[in-house]
Amino acid sequence: MAHTRTSYVCLPCRASYKQPFPDGHERRCPRCAAPLIHTGSAFAAPRRRDTAGWRTLSVLLNAGIRFHKGCCGGGPGYRPRTLSEVRERMTHARRTGEPFATALTRPELP
């Protein structure tokens, strides 16, 4: 039986790696030896030169948002793709007291 592979990211190197599903030990970046962040199997990395895309991704990952597939194959749900979408949702979260992770995954702002 084949083992499931999932995505890991190194933010300083702007690199994404597919590796076997987590088995308890910490994964390290082959370039800089920094710890890799488990992003989930439904993750698609931005191009390395896409600075805004990596900044957006950094905000999402630091807020605890990951890209796991749903139980019915629906994917991870809404994730902001631009810095302006991130700013809108962060402003909404500060005004309403809503947790950042919830505001960032909200498809529409009220």
pTM, full prediction? 0.83
Residue 42's closest CA among 15, 73, 72? 73
37-40 and 5-10: which strand pairing? antiparallel
3-state secondary structure of 62: helix
Q: How many residues appear in the chain?
A: 110
**For each of the chain's 110 residues, which pLDDT tens digit applies?**
456 788 999 999 999 999 887 777 889 999 999 999 999 888 999 999 999 999 999 999 999 999 887 665 556 778 888 999 999 999 999 999 999 999 999 888 87
Half-sphere exposure of 54 (CA within 13 A, CB side): 13
* Pair 26, 10: CB distance under 8 Å: no
Per-residue pLDDT at 1: 45
Query: In the prediction, which pLDDT does 20 show?
Result: 84
